[in-house]
Structure 1
Amino acid sequence: MNKEEQVLMGFRDVFNKLVWLNKDKMEDSLKGYKPSEVHCIEYIERNVDSNVTKLAETFYMTRGAISKMTKKLMEKGLVESYQKPDNKKEIYFRLTEQGKVIYKIHEELHKEFQERDKAVFEQVTVEQYDSMLSFMEKYNKHLDAEIKKLGMDIKSE
């Protein structure tokens, strides 16, 4: 196996292990909510004036799928829509108090997982972080270009 394959297998292994380790605790604490719904809640809380287009770009989903999800979140009382006085066309989303409770539970779980993994991250040097971040940025740009070639430029729709 060459270095490239080792890196890609490493990413896959780390991702799969994180999902497996975190799954039970996430499911127990966030019963009744799909991971995609929780991540949508997280995005809405962290990004002012979230709308269907921004959510679709972020999650690489169609606007129709996002509309369906936000409708479900509104039915569950987690998200509400609003419009700006100067733009009656665009619909934005924000969390309700109940949505903020789910967001807080999710954040606390992430903090717990970060604490669990802290020993590894404390050993990483600034140079190593810079190198990893540089690689991730390059690989992300490459994947964006590949997505664009397929005529699926989600970022600019």
Structure 2
Amino acid sequence: MGNQYEQYKELLQSFDKGYELCYEYDSMPHQYGDEVLYQSEMHFLEVVGDTPSITITVISQQLGKTKSACSQMVRKLVKKELLTQERNEKNNREYYLNLTERGKEIYEVHKEFDEKCMQRTYKSLADFSEEELRSYISVQKTLNQVFQKDVDENGVLEVAGKRKKNKSK
């Protein structure tokens, strides 16, 4: 195995460091204008801003979250006056979600910040060729497939002495 195996281990160490940094970034609150939000809140607002009058069902599918988790997020963001709910007149159990004016302002601030970050990252990768970037994408996709298998095979919870498949996302 030799050198290639050592490179593989270095690749995984680099991946783990990147994961830790992403996790740390996603776990910390961020300032958007005069509002402090966590990434999960901002991602939710982003989906609503990108798709006005979206429903909780559609958001839950897009984000891979349960309807219950999305409903909790809606309550939190409505309380912060960043989101509105409008009942569907044809289906009383369904609500359309939209950003408030304040929510729209934060959405725009976030889009500008995101673009700035994307440009900074893009510039930092300028020394890599298209071929090198394609190779990285290929390696990452292969790793993601393996990681998914790990999740599928090992996503088991111990609940009251019984094994239960972990379906949470």
Answer yes or no: same fold by TM over 0.5: yes
Change (3 A) 1:21 1:92: closer
Identity %: 21
Structure 2 residue aligned with 1:115, among 112, 119, 124?
119
The answer to whether residue 104 in structure 2 is matched with residue 100 in structure 1 is yes
Structure 2 residue aligned with 1:63, among 54, 60, 67?
67
Whether the aligned pair in 1 keeps the contact of 2:83 and 2:100 (CA below 8 Å) is yes
Task: State the structure with bigger RCO (CA 8 A, min sep 6), 1 or 2.
Answer: 1
**Match of 1:135, as an amino acid?**
V
Q: CA deviation at 1:73?
A: 0.5
Aligned to 2:159: none
How many pairs are equivalent? 155
Change (3 A) 1:91 1:134: farther
The answer to whether residue 134 in structure 2 is matched with residue 133 in structure 1 is no
Aligned to 2:46: 42
How large is the RMSD of aligned CA atoms in angstroms?
A: 3.7
Distance 2:80 2:28 in 1: 22
TM-score, normalisation: structure 2:
0.65
Distance 1:30 1:135 in 2: 40
Map Cα deviations across residues 26-55 of structure 1 (whole Å, 9 max, x no partner): 437464322221121112222455433444
Q: If you compute each CA radius of gyration, which structure gives the higher value, 1 or 2?
A: 2
What stretches of structure 2 of length at least 5 have no aligned partner?
Answer: 156-164
Distance 1:24 1:56 in 2: 23
Q: CA deviation at 1:71?
A: 0.8
Whether the aligned pair in 2 keeps the contact of 1:55 and 1:66 (CA below 8 Å) is yes
Q: CA deviation at 1:68?
A: 1.1
Whether the aligned pair in 2 keeps the contact of 1:81 and 1:92 (CA below 8 Å) is yes
Structure 1 residue aligned with 2:81, among 71, 77, 81?
77
Distance 2:150 2:28 in 1: 35
**Match of 2:119, as an amino acid?**
E
Whether the aligned pair in 1 keeps the contact of 2:56 and 2:67 (CA below 8 Å) is yes
Change (3 A) 1:94 1:72: same
What stretches of structure 1 of length at least 5 have no aligned partner?
Answer: none
Change (3 A) 1:105 1:25: farther
Distance 2:145 2:96 in 1: 28
Larger helix percent: 1
Q: CA deviation at 1:8?
A: 2.7
